Each structure stands twice: as C-alpha cells, then as structure tokens.
Amino acid sequence: MSAGDDPRERVARAFEREYGGRPEALVRAPGRVNLIGEHTDYNDGFVLPMALDRAAWIALTPRSDGVVRLLALDLSQRGVFDVASARRRDARGDPHAEQGGWLEYPRAVAWALQDGGGHTLRGFDGVLASDVPRAAGLSSSAAVELAVAAAFQVSSAFVWDEVDIARRMQRAENHWVGVASGIMDQLVGAAGVAGYALLIDCRDLSTRPVPLSADCAVVVLDTATRRGLVGSAYNERRSQCEAAARALGVAALRDADGAALEAVREALDPLVYRRARHVIGENQRVLDAVEALEAGASAAFGRLMDASHESLRHDFEVSSEALDAIVAAARAAPGCLGARMTGAGFGGCAVALVERAALPAFLSAAAEAYTRASGRQGELLVATPSAGAGIAAS
C-alpha cells in the first residue's frame, strides 16, 4: 500500500480541507481475521481471532453540543445527526439496513452508548476512512462502529471498558442493523493485543493473548467474491444451533460434547445434527489450537484449520465455491500449514498459516492457482496482529 492510500493520512488531510483546522484527535479501530472458532461465538463457545493492521480511522474535533458531523471519505458522503435523535429502532429484516444509509452505523453506536444507563454523549466533527475490505468477512462494520465509539470516548470522556464497549457495539449490530451476530468481532476489535491472537471465551467474555510463532505468517486470501444478503442465512444457522441446544437440554451448545450429541442423534433433524456437530467439534478445535500454539506446534495448528474448513463446508454449509477454491489453492502452495474460510462465510476471505521462509513462493503460487481454478483475481495480504481500538498518536 502506498503512503497516499493510508487512511490515517487521508483522514487527517481531509479534516483540514473540510473543517479548516487540524483535528484534535485521531482514533483507530481494526478489522479482524478469525484464525479458528467459526460460528461458535453465539453458542457461548470459544474463538481465536486477531485484530488486523487494516483499520477504520476517524480524525475529529469534539463539539460542545450533541451534533455529529461526519464525512465518510471512502463514499464521499456527508452526514449529520444529533445524539438525542438516535433512538432505538428495530431494523430487523430491513433489506436496506446493510447497504442503505452508512450513517445508520454511527447512529446505532450513539444509541447503544447511551442506552440502559449508558453514557452522556457530546458530538464531534469528524472524517472517517477505512482500508478494511468491505463485506469480506474481516469485520469492516465492527471496525467502523468501534472507531465511532472511540471518537465519542474522546468527545465525551467516558471510561473505556473494552468488554462493555464490545457488548454495546454488539447490541448496535443486533438491534439496529438487524443481524443477530455474536460478540467476537467487537470484542477482538476492542481488546486485540499487538503481536498476539486473542482467545475469547464467549460465555464469560474473558480473553487471553495467544502467541503466534515468529516462523509463521498469517495470510488473508480474498476471493474477490462478496457475500450477498448473509443476514438471513446467518440468523437461520443461529436458530438451528438453538434448536439443537434445546434438544440436548443445555443452555448453549458450548455445554454439550460429542457423546451427548450422539445420544440424541435419532431424535434430531439430520440438518440440525450436522450444525451441532460442527459447533461442538469447532469448540474443541479452538482449545486444541491454543494448546498447539502455546507449545509452538504450528503444523498441528494448521491441521486444525484444515479440519475447521471441512466442517464448515460439509456440516455447517457456509462455505462457497470460491472459498473452497482459494482454500485448495492455498493448501497446494509451498509452505502452507493449513487453510480455512474465515468469518460468517458465503464469500469473502479465507485465512492460511504459512511458513515464513516460503512466503514469497506461497503468495505467487496460491494467487496463480486460484486464478486458474476460478478465473478470478484474488488478493492476498500478509496480516500483522495488531492492537484493539483506541486513540492513535496524531
């Protein structure tokens, strides 16, 4: 990426043009890539994502009233709202919620921060830009939400509690945007630790940084396909998991093991059985992955990533032809220890663990093989584990 594309530079320059003065603060919130633990978060399970060096940035100057003026640089669109007008709105099922009105995200954040004995907010003049690829399974929307929350923290000076912020941002997504997503994206975006992946227990929301071997690189492979209206398929998977938990007599699939599932197999809809088999297996794979990483066993971690993909493909059925093609291309390339789709699925990105020594050969071979198989031009980026959202030195 050239310096001219750096969103941090772009928001600072655009702020001066737009408001005629230097911004008082610069905030940043990262996208994320999930290494393993897919569709487990809303089952009270375990996930192992890492915050990316791709992020949403806001240059801002606080205001003394409740007005938020925001220029979305990537869209060349301006929006204004008053925090007092950001009231609860149930947009569930609204087909315009995802693409319509980017300003809904900042408004949702203002609502969620104020809701239920929340914070008293003051507004700000700001410029927003992001280099997190959109709708690619890298949490571009959580990055924007957290950047807006960090901007409000600067203008309103409330205490920044990572778990509370993540919970509020999840509610913004659930109640305002209308996707019943789990807590993973918001929590790793808030609590990510530079240089580490983050194990999250999605029941008690405790987190633990997990080291990645310096000999390996995490590569994000973008299929250049974008998921369509993923909301309905996502919400459907979630209900199937809840049905399985009810049949098993547990609060969430987190509480079940393989033996318990086999014991009720006959009574379960075969589809619901497969969904549950994925979640139960995936939770165990996350715990095994953490053990492997902490023991420096990268190859074992890679094999768990492979197994995760197969389970997502066949049991949970959230992969796609393009995702399967790029995962196959990655696995056949030099130095690949494992590869899987990442995020909600149906399009977007995969992630691979690659021996650093083989990185250049991996990147060209995987890109070429994917183009040959799919006719598409994928984009590969080597990801650096980064810190969670907050104020950046301006």
Active-site residue list: 185
Q: Where are the alpha helices (DSSP H) in 203-296?
A: 230-248, 258-263, 270-294
For ligand GLA, the closer CB: 126 or 338: 338
Burial (CB < 10 A; 0-12, 13-18, 19+), residue 119, is buried
Instruction: Please report how close the Cβ of residue 185 comes to ligand GLA at its closest, in angstroms.
Output: 5
For ligand GLA, the closer CB: 78 or 314: 314
- Using CB under 6 A as the binding rule, whether residue 223 contacts ligand GLA is answered as no
Q: Choose, by CB under 6 A, the member of 39, 171, 254, 275 that binds ligand GLA.
A: 39
Contact 378, 389 (CB under 8 A): no
Reading the block at residue 269, the tokens are 């809809």
Instruction: Please report how close the Cβ of residue 146 comes to ligand GLA at its closest, in angstroms.
Output: 13
Contact 379, 181 (CB under 8 A): no
The whole-angstrom separation of Cα 121 and Cα 119 is 6
- Using CB under 6 A as the binding rule, whether residue 185 contacts ligand GLA is answered as yes
Q: Which amino acid, 79? A: G
Contact 236, 229 (CB under 8 A): no
Reading the block at residue 10, the tokens are 């772009």
Instruction: Please report how close the Cβ of residue 181 comes to ligand GLA at its closest, in angstroms.
Output: 3
The one segment of 38-46, 209-217, 239-247, 385-393 that binds ligand GLA by CB under 6 A? 38-46
Q: Choose, by CB under 6 A, the member of 41, 98, 162, 355 that binds ligand GLA.
A: 41
What's 87's DSSP letter?
-
Q: Choose, by CB under 6 A, the member of 18, 38, 104, 125 that binds ligand GLA.
A: 38
- Using CB under 6 A as the binding rule, whether residue 344 contacts ligand GLA is answered as yes
For ligand GLA, the closer CB: 36 or 71: 36
- Map residue 177 onto helix, strand or coil: helix
Instruction: Please report how close the Cβ of residue 42 comes to ligand GLA at its closest, in angstroms.
Output: 6
The residues of the shown chain that bind ligand GLA, judged by CB under 6 A, are 38-39, 41-42, 181-182, 184-185, 343-344
